[in-house]
Amino acid sequence: MEMNGEDPRHDARTRRVPPSGTPGSYRPAPNHRSPDEVPTRPAPEPTQVMRRDRQSGSPLAYSAVPTPNNSPPQSHRPPPGANRGGPPPPNRRPVAPPPGPPPRRTAQSGAGGGEGGARRGRRNPPPDSPQAAIAPPRRRRPRWGRRLLIVLLILIIAPIAALIYLDSTLTRIDALGGYANRVGDTPGTNWLLAGSDSRDGLSSAQEAQLTTGSAADAGGERSDTIMLVHMPKSGQATVVSLPRDSYVSIPGHGRDKLNAAFSLGGPKLLSQTVEVATGLHIDHFAKIGFGGFAGLVDAVGGIDMCLPQAMNDPLAGIDLPAGCQHLDGPKALGFVRSRATARADLDRMNDQRLFLAALLKKATGASTLANPFRLWSLAQGAAGSVQVDHGDHLWDLARLGWALHGGTIATTVPIGGFEDVSGSGNVLLWDHDRATTFFGDLAADRPLPPDLITVG
């Protein structure tokens, strides 16, 4: 092992040379000195050396004392667990740092070289190193994907949450089923819509504004509007007006006017009577009162109607000229209630179908759907004014409105004539044969023949 340019194996002080003339005896080498005569070298002074940090490249200083030449050799390998960033071995010759500022570390000069060195070279320097003030901070990429995902989630979740909330505010009643030998399920979807003369929730001022009279004078709840809506599996929906004076069989009460079923047993008896009279299975039920009717019209900002002739009915509280005009809630309510025409209930049923078409056109128009405030007001008005069966939901009402907003087939049950009946007064009779074919086609989900469609 070579140390400081000398090989201890060739040191004259350790060489054994046999004396001349005496083989095997010891003779000191020339210039040999005893241990007491060997001069002692002064201890070397600490030397300030420099090294560089392996990660940042910044210069670091430490003091080291070189090992004297007469000290035993030491291993350069650091002991296990020693800090590799500490001072170098004592026998290693320190290297002075080059003058000038330390070089900047780049991706090509990273530790280890190659791809791994390039990755390590791109790391940010420590904040306390000189490079931290020189190297520009790394720019983060904009997280547009995450922001877009958050916006999409809000746009999807917010309407669903609002729909669930409004559905929970619906007033649900027991309106369907619950009787023996009920009509079985028929193809398509059938709705029974009832317009009630209920004054529940109306103040005295509102009763005067809507010209409804007081609840005490009404003598019970009646249904002024009864409609059957058949939504086929394909094709246009059919809206059938059922005259309230129709003379039909009411289960448990004999034959009487259809409106009497509502007065005797409410929505449940009314739906049972319609199922027995038509042979159609009623899937959904909805009822709306006077106050809810007017509020629903005001929620969409009113409707536009074109009247073929003037209407003046003090009992309904309207005086409308002929022609196209804008109707608010109270005027629209008076329009669908008025019977001051030549054909009375028949004209009123036609006016109700025209009003329903105008209301659905306004509710599903661009002016409503593009206005979130008006759309929210409409949804709140529908949820607060309509009563439905326990199995119905707000999205069922939405499907009904969407099916009726386009072209529909509006008709009336085939009528045979009028007759005075003792105990019931003047009643409306259905044409038995034509009515049987009419409802038979609807029950089989077949299109109605043109000769069975009565408009106006």
Q: Residue 34 is which amino acid?
A: S
Partners of 194 in the β-ladder:
226, 287
| Nearest CA among 455, 244, 219, 423 for reference residue 344 | 244
- Residue 375 in domain: yes
Q: Hunting for tokens 């009577």 — which residue is that?
A: 273
pLDDT at 117: 46
pLDDT at 348: 82
Q: Is the pLDDT of residue 12 over 50?
A: no
- Residue 370 in domain: yes
pLDDT at 440: 94
- Residue 440 in domain: yes
Q: Is the pLDDT of residue 3 over 50?
A: no
pLDDT in tens, 81-105: 555 555 555 555 655 666 666 666 5
Q: Is the pLDDT of residue 388 over 60?
A: yes
Q: Do residues 238 and 411 make contact, with C-beta atoms less than 8 angstroms apart? A: yes
- Residue 162 in domain: no
- Residue 69 in domain: no
pLDDT band at 108 (very low <50, low <70, confident <90, very high): very low
Q: Hunting for tokens 């405030």 — which residue is that?
A: 373
pLDDT in tens, 26-69: 455 555 555 555 555 665 555 555 555 566 656 555 544 454 55
| 50 sits in which H/E element | strand 47-52
User: What CATH number did the domain enclosing 222 receive?
Assistant: 3.40.630.190
pLDDT band at 141 (very low <50, low <70, confident <90, very high): low
Q: Do residues 416 and 246 make contact, with C-beta atoms less than 8 angstroms apart? A: no
Q: Is the pLDDT of residue 265 over 60?
A: yes
Partners of 410 in the β-ladder:
239
- Residue 77 in domain: no
- Residue 131 in domain: no
Residue that wins the pLDDT comparison between 334 and 99: 334
Residue 309 DSSP one-character state: S
- Residue 142 in domain: no
| CA dihedral angle for residue 166, residue 171, residue 173, residue 177, rounded to 10 degrees | -20
Tally the domains of the chain: 1
Query: Which residues fall within 8 angstroms of residue 289, CB to CB, at 6 or more apart?
Result: 196, 197, 198, 199, 200, 201, 385
Question: Between helices 394-404 and 372-385, what is the axis angle to 10°?
Answer: 110
Q: Hunting for tokens 């929730």 — which residue is that?
A: 201
H-type helices in 139-200, by residue range?
144-168
Q: Hunting for tokens 């330390």 — which residue is that?
A: 102
Domain of residue 259: give its range.
Answer: 172-452
Supply 162's token pair: 């609002």
pLDDT at 367: 79
What integer is the mean pLDDT of 195-201? 66
pLDDT at 151: 82
Q: Do residues 66 and 90 make contact, with C-beta atoms less than 8 angstroms apart? A: yes
pLDDT at 230: 95
pLDDT in tens, 160-192: 888 888 888 888 999 997 888 898 899 999 999
Q: Is the pLDDT of residue 134 over 80?
A: no
